[in-house]
Amino acid sequence: MKLAEALRIVQTPQPPNAEKFSVYLACGIFPLHLSTFLAAHLRTCLPDRTIEIHTGLYGDLTGNLAELQKSSPQAGAVIVEWSDLDPRLGLRRLGGWGPSVLPDIQTGVHRETELLLHLIEDAAQSTPLAVCLPTIPLPPIFNQPSQQFGLEHLQLETTLNDFAVRAAQITGVKILNRQRLDAVSLPSERLDVQSELSTGFPYRTAHASRVAELLAGLIQPRQPKKGLITDLDDTLWRGLLDELGARGVSWELDQRSHIHALYQQLLQALSESGILLGVASKNEPGLVAEALARQDLLLKANRIFPVEVNWGLKSQSVGRILAAWNIGADAVVFVDDSPMELAEVKSIYPAMECLRFPTNLEQEAYNLLRELRDLFGRQAILEEDQIRTASVRSGSQFHQQTQSEAAQPLEDFLGQVKAELTVGLVPSAKEPRAFELVNKTNQFNLNGRRLDDAEFEAALNRAGAVSLLVSYQDKYGPLGRIAVLLGQLESSVLKLDTWVMSCRAFSRQIEHRCLQYLFESLDVSEIELEFRHTPRNRPICEFLANFADTESTTPIRIQRDIFMSRKPRLSHKINEVSYA
């Protein structure tokens, strides 16, 4: 992004009622264009919010970090340059570059990183932080020729890496990946000596934009994709099954098809971190089954569900996979070697990311693997992620059973499958699954409201706070933690302002059982819901319409006696636990 563009974005007026998003930019350099770029990139990520960037004093990173903690912004961006660790490592202060000062610089850097670590730890308790390690190369202070890593240089890097490793372990802290920054901003093209000497801003504008863009991505990461649908021939493997047979297709070095093995390896890794994998292929089902059963396939066949193999339109196969997963097209990536198939799927699902597998172009294919990792990048792998494929598969069996035994009421069926809910308080805003559910669920979502760390914590700690984290399992297996409810108890009324439930948990009357549990356990006569229509929350709207008028003004109210008289017979067993 150019500076002119960033300024225009920042200057574009916002509606007066736009919600604020405040960020404290803590650095020791003069932030000049950096704060402009950060505001512009954040505005691009959050077009409906008014971005406020607060900065501190020049040359006082530690003081600014303390100020960050006091001002409690919604996020913090911390930029550490070498000159913040010892002024002699910058250009504006003179203290000597001779060999005699190097041990003292070493000691100073160690001391300063320890201090920064404490300040970051304190600030991260209330504010999520994105931390950028030094981006400006060290000045010419070492006596070795520049192509040689001298001992003193390595020791400084070790101190910095130790600081980064410890900072990365602090909850709420994300470290900007220096390798990623190196890829988009060449180290030799970062420092602007003239600007540093005249204003104290050491970055060239292009570098400032790159740093700000990556920091904005850490502060406001895009939603990771949830599922990947892959083609088979010349994508998952080299060659056409129809021509070569199951033993003829390859993914080996000596067949010059090793890039497909790397693709399989990546898909296996994605699956192990909770990404859903499906296959959409125009092929003979028997041949595909034979090929997927090959023991040397790096992607295990049980990781793929569903496998859609037929001669129909790819978009129809994709549609059936989306239905089985019950997720939106915008959460899915489709990979195929055929531009025509990609275009056909894209025409039906414009929100879907459709990427070409560039057969025979290994460098480009490798770039695709990196891009896929990025699209599915997530903070942590949770228990729910590891059971996702199995639970989608069992969910499909569940729905087949309910449909094939249509004569049997769902209530009886749920009793037979031993449906169980486990409920407990949300222990804190740092509970990663609860936070994830609130911030990524769309369909069964009371009002589309998202909560950042501070807002979540405030919701849990307000007067009369009520929270519920719900897990589900039946004889087909566990679905894990699938629902979160947040509200406030006021005399005999429960006011719910957050209610989300994973789409994997639909059609099990879990939502009915949750309301029944709340009515009974809190002994309330009415539940008031801060319901709002969103473009995607039809499922919760349809559910609520059974008990209240969802077209009237919000909040809507559900009376206990009306709920009890209209709810189905519920046979889920309830277990109460402490998630702490």
Partner 1 sequence: MPNLEERLKECFSTTFPNLSSDEILRCSTASVANWDSLATVTLVSLIEEEFAITIAPEEYAYIVSFDLVNQCLKSKIVNV
* Interacting residues with partner 1 (CB under 8 A): 2-4, 7-8, 11, 32-33, 194, 198-199, 201, 205
Taking the complex as a whole, the smallest distance from the CB of residue 339 to partner 1 amounts, in Å, to: 34
Taking the complex as a whole, the smallest distance from the CB of residue 522 to partner 1 amounts, in Å, to: 54
Q: Return d(Cα 346, Cα 315) in angstroms, integer.
A: 8
State which residue, 11 or 491, has the beta carbon closest to partner 1: 11
Tokens, residue 297:
């396939």
Taking the complex as a whole, the smallest distance from the CB of residue 192 to partner 1 amounts, in Å, to: 10
Q: Return d(Cα 107, Cα 119) in angstroms, integer.
A: 19
Taking the complex as a whole, the smallest distance from the CB of residue 95 to partner 1 amounts, in Å, to: 24
State which residue, 1 or 304, has the beta carbon closest to partner 1: 1
Taking the complex as a whole, the smallest distance from the CB of residue 33 to partner 1 amounts, in Å, to: 6
334 CA to centre of own chain: 19
**E-strand stretches of 201-316:** 227-230, 276-282, 304-310
Taking the complex as a whole, the smallest distance from the CB of residue 54 to partner 1 amounts, in Å, to: 16
Q: Return d(Cα 504, Cα 352) in angstroms, integer.
A: 20
State which residue, 27 or 500, has the beta carbon closest to partner 1: 27
State which residue, 57 or 564, has the beta carbon closest to partner 1: 57
State which residue, 25 or 241, has the beta carbon closest to partner 1: 25
- The residue behind tokens 């897990």 is 471
Instruction: Give how far Cα 46 sits from Cα of 1, 55, 219, 448, 500, Å.
Output: 16, 20, 11, 15, 22
Taking the complex as a whole, the smallest distance from the CB of residue 195 to partner 1 amounts, in Å, to: 8
State which residue, 13 or 535, has the beta carbon closest to partner 1: 13
**Using CB atoms within 10 A of its CB, is residue 487 exposed (0-12), middle (13-18) or buried (19+)?**
buried
Taking the complex as a whole, the smallest distance from the CB of residue 40 to partner 1 amounts, in Å, to: 12
State which residue, 208 or 266, has the beta carbon closest to partner 1: 208
**E-strand stretches of 231-283:** 276-282
Peptide bond into 306 cis (omega under 30): yes
- The set of residues, in sequence order, having a beta carbon less than 8 Å from that of 393 and lying 6+ positions away, is 305
Instruction: Give how far Cα 80 sits from Cα of 63, 75, 109, 135, 169, Å.
Output: 13, 16, 12, 8, 17
State which residue, 2 or 256, has the beta carbon closest to partner 1: 2
